[in-house]
Amino acid sequence: MVAELLHRSVAEQYASWFRALADPSRVQIVEYLARQGRPMSVGEIVTAVGLAQSTVSQHLKILADVRFVLVEQVGTARHYRINDACINCFPSAADVVMGKPAPTPIEGC
């Protein structure tokens, strides 16, 4: 039996997720936001991870581009929160890449 190749568009999506998490600081930011479970300002995230504001902002932009974090405008500030739908999809993506059967797609990723 010949195994079916992962569709190119799905492979590209998964690759973008893996690239976004290829930096330890971004992994820490995702983990921190997931544990906090609420929208947070850049300043709060800067305090938690101990990096410069510009660095944290750049990491948040990359994470927002792949929808791991969502941005909410609060007055003149931006608050960031974890996108539970995408975070829930990521372990399944890793499983698929490692040869496990694909789960039912989850909306919002």
CB atoms within 10 A of CB 83: 21
Task: Specify the pTM.
Answer: 0.82
Q: Report the residue count for the chain.
A: 109
Measured between alpha carbons, how far apart are the two ends of the chain, in Å? 31
CA 96 vs. chain centroid, Å, equals 17
For the domain bounded by 8-97, which CATH number is listed?
A: 1.10.10.10
Across the chain, which has 109 residues, the per-10-residue mean pLDDT values are 75 88 95 94 96 97 95 94 82 73 58
Q: In sequence order, what are the residues at sequence separation of 6 or more whose Cβ sits closer than 8 angstroms to the Cβ of residue 20?
A: 26, 62, 63, 65, 66, 68
Give the chain's radius of gyration (CA, Å): 15
Which pLDDT does position 9 carry in this prediction?
Answer: 87
Take residue 32 and report the two structure tokens written for it.
């921190």
Which pLDDT does position 72 carry in this prediction?
Answer: 95
